[in-house]
Copies of this chain bind each other. A is one copy, B any other.
């Protein structure tokens, strides 16, 4: 396994792989890796002869009042975890490398970014789309693997790739959970022990919603009301949003008569947690 820090070196590596006719698989991360990331990497191994992962806490996707400075980092541990799962290259750029002085180009999406985290975190998806566009140009992957925990992010990336004719496949993988159902996230490290039960209100709320759907409920307002009350009943938990959206447009739906996703964002103590579940699909909780 090698670590590459420079843009040109990353591109020359990618060119050499492609010149040999080898496929490049890519898993972009912000580091502080957990089993969810490792699952993405295992999947990546299946889609390429060479697996590249990036570790980069991207400043442009954090708002001015968000947790950029305290976002958890542990490169040494990440290195060992990557080695264990068979990563070939860690791309580990600096901020100066990614956003040099006079940087001024951004990729913006108009529709799918308007709801959910796009409302709560203005500019977040602009930062996500921009850094992914850059990373795709640097790593030149044939396939990139993203987790479905960030459901809207996956929709944004797929839309960008299609719209800008980026020639790679985007693969979405099911959320990996702790034994108690909590979706894996680097931000779970912010949770205090007494907040853990409240953090479980997300996955349990999703399970409740799936149960109502299985019973035939198709009125979004009825499900939203039940899940909102359930989550709000937990100490330390403050709802950012509880929504049911069309999985393609990310617009709110009133009735569950098309493929729809329940998407949750809840602040539990210092952690802003997100989780989601597509109605009718199995939820591993």
Q: Which residue of B lies closest to A137 (CB)?
A: B165
Cβ contact within 8 Å between A134 and B104: no
Cβ contact within 8 Å between B108 and A105: yes
A116 to chain B minimum Cβ distance, whole angstroms, is 16
Q: Which residue of B lies closest to A112 (CB)?
A: B104
Cβ contact within 8 Å between B106 and A108: yes
A224 on interface, CB distance cutoff 8 Å: no
A36 to chain B minimum Cβ distance, whole angstroms, is 27
Cβ contact within 8 Å between B137 and A104: no
A11 on interface, CB distance cutoff 8 Å: yes
Contact of A105 among B102, B104, B159, B167 (CB under 8 A): B159
Cβ contact within 8 Å between A105 and B165: no
Q: Which of A69-105 contact B (CB under 8 A)?
A: 102-105
Known: A18-B18, A19-B21, A21-B19. A163 touches B104 (CB 8 A): yes
**How long is the Cα–Cα vector from A194 to B108 in the complex, in angstroms?**
45
Q: Which residue of B lies closest to A20 (CB)?
A: B19
A18 to chain B minimum Cβ distance, whole angstroms, is 7
A2 on interface, CB distance cutoff 8 Å: no
Cβ contact within 8 Å between B111 and A160: no
Q: Which of A97-148 contact B (CB under 8 A)?
A: 102-112, 129-130, 133-134, 137-138, 140
- A109 proximity list for chain B (CB < 8 A): 104-106
- A137 proximity list for chain B (CB < 8 A): 164-167
A7 on interface, CB distance cutoff 8 Å: yes
- A19 proximity list for chain B (CB < 8 A): 18-19, 21
Cβ contact within 8 Å between B11 and A167: yes
Cβ contact within 8 Å between A164 and B11: no
A275 to chain B minimum Cβ distance, whole angstroms, is 26
Cβ contact within 8 Å between A133 and B164: yes
Cβ contact within 8 Å between A107 and B106: yes
A189-223 contact mask (Cβ, 8 Å, vs B): 1 or 0? 00000000000000000000000000000000000
A126 to chain B minimum Cβ distance, whole angstroms, is 9
Pairs of residues from A and B, 5 with the lowest C-beta to C-beta distance, nearest first? A105-B163, A104-B110, A137-B165, A104-B111, A134-B165
